[in-house]
C-alpha cells in the first residue's frame, strides 16, 4: 500500500508558539491531501483539504488563520498551528489519496502547555 | 440521522472467534467503502477497500457491501489478540471520506 509519513511524531510546546507539522507521500504523488484532528476516544474530524498549488479548503468552524496549510509540492503538505493554546492539544493526522481511497500518516501528537 | 452509523462497542471476543463489524449509512451517493484499523495513538491503517456492492476477501478479512440496504460489514475470521484495535468504517462519493465513530475490539487470549 501507499506510504504516508508525518513529522514530528510528537511535540510539546509553550502556549503562544507556532508548530509546523509535515506530511509526505513517500511512494506516490498526491494532488490532494487531508488534515484531520482526533480527540481521545473520538473519530477523525476533517479540518481541511489541501490542494497542490492552490489554497486549502477548510471545514466549517476551522479557523484558517490559526491552522495554516501549505501544499507546495505533489509530495508535501504542511500544517502550521499558529499561536497554539492548550485547547489545540490533540492528535493531528494527515492523509493522501493516490486514487479513490486515502492513506493515513502515523499522526502527530501535540501538547500545548 | 447521521450519514454513517457505527456501533462504538466495546466488543470483546475470545481468540479464534469470528468477529462481525457493521455500519449503516444514509447517503445513496456513496460508492467507495473502506475499513480502517487504528491502534491506540497511531494513524488509521487501510484494511479493505470496496467499490460499489459486493464482497471482497483478503486473508482472514472479508468486506461486504449491500448498497440496496445501505449496509456494510467487515468479518474477521480466526481473530487474534493482535486484531485488538478500533475499526473505522469510511465511505465517500467523490473526495471526502465520511467516517463512522469506530468500534473498539478486544480479542482475549
Q: Is there a contact between B41 and A46 if contact means CB atoms under 8 Å apart? A: no
pLDDT at B8 over 90: no
Q: Tell me the C-alpha distance between B63 and A28, whole Å.
A: 26
- Put simply, whether B43 touches A (Cβ < 8 Å) is yes
Mean pLDDT computed over A73-95? 95
- Least confident window among A26-30, B64-68, B101-105: A26-30
For residues A23 and A105, the answer to whether their CB atoms sit within 8 Å is yes
Q: Is there a contact between A43 and B96 if contact means CB atoms under 8 Å apart? A: no
Q: In the prediction, which pLDDT does B2 show? A: 77
List of chain A residues whose C-beta atoms are within 8 Å of the C-beta of residue B63:
none
List of chain A residues whose C-beta atoms are within 8 Å of the C-beta of residue B100:
43
pLDDT at B102 over 90: yes
Query: Which A positions 2-41 lie with beta carbon below 8 A of chain B?
Result: 4, 6, 32, 34
Q: In the prediction, which pLDDT does A112 show? A: 97
Backbone phi, psi, residue A88, to 5°: -85, -10
Q: How many residues does chain A have?
A: 113
Residue A1 banded pLDDT, cuts 50, 70, 90: low
> What is chain A's mean pLDDT, rounded?
93
Mean pLDDT computed over B46-56? 91
**Residue A66 CB neighbours (<10 A):** 14
Mean pLDDT computed over A11-31? 94
> What is chain B's mean pLDDT, rounded?
94
Residue B31 banded pLDDT, cuts 50, 70, 90: very high
Q: In the prediction, which pLDDT does B1 show? A: 67
- Put simply, whether B56 touches A (Cβ < 8 Å) is no
Q: Is there a contact between B42 and A107 if contact means CB atoms under 8 Å apart? A: yes
pLDDT at A100 over 80: no
Residue listed under C-alpha cell 480527540: A39
pLDDT at A58 over 70: yes
A61 vs B95, higher pLDDT: A61
Q: In the prediction, which pLDDT does B95 show? A: 75
Q: In the prediction, which pLDDT does A40 show? A: 86
- Put simply, whether B65 touches A (Cβ < 8 Å) is no
pLDDT at B94 over 80: no
Whether the link from the prior residue into A92 is cis, omega within 30° of 0, is no
pLDDT at A73 over 80: yes
Q: In the prediction, which pLDDT does A54 show? A: 86
Q: In the prediction, which pLDDT does B37 show? A: 97
Q: In the prediction, which pLDDT does A101 show? A: 84
Q: Tell me the C-alpha distance between A55 and A24, whole Å.
A: 18
A43 vs A107, higher pLDDT: A107
Amino acid at each position: 500500500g501507499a506510504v504516508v509519513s508525518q513529522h514530528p511524531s510528537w511535540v510539546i510546546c509553550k502556549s503562544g508558539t507556532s508548530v509546523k507539522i509535515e506530511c509526505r507521500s513517500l511512494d506516490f504523488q498526491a494532488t490532494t491531501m487531508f488534515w484531520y484532528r482526533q480527540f481521545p476516544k473520538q473519530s477523525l474530524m476533517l479540518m481541511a483539504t489541501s490542494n497542490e498549488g492552490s489554497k486549502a479548503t477548510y471545514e466549517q468552524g476551522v479557523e484558517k488563520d490559526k491552522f495554516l496549510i501549505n501544499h507546495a509540492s505533489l509530495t508535501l503538505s504542511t500544517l502550521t498551528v499558529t499561536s497554539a493554546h492548550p485547547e489545540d492539544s490533540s492528535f493531528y493526522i494527515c492523509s493522501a489519496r493516490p486514487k479513490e481511497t486515502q492513506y493515513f500518516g502515523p499522526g502527530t501528537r501535540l501538547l500545548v502547555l | 440521522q447521521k450519514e454513517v452509523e457505527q456501533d462504538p462497542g466495546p466488543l470483546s471476543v475470545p481468540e479464534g472467534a469470528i468477529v462481525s463489524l457493521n455500519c449503516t449509512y444514509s447517503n445513496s451517493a456513496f460508492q467507495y467503502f473502506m475499513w480502517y484499523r487504528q491502534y491506540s495513538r497511531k494513524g488509521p491503517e487501510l484494511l479493505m477497500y470496496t467499490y460499489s456492492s459486493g464482497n471482497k476477501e483478503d486473508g482472514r478479512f472479508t468486506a461486504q457491501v449491500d448498497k440496496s440496504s445501505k449496509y456494510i460489514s467487515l468479518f474477521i475470521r480466526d481473530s487474534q489478540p493482535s486484531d485488538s484495535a478500533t475499526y473505522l468504517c469510511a465511505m465517500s462519493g467523490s473526495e471526502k471520506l465520511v467516517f463512522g465513530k469506530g468500534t473498539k475490539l478486544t480479542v482475549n487470549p
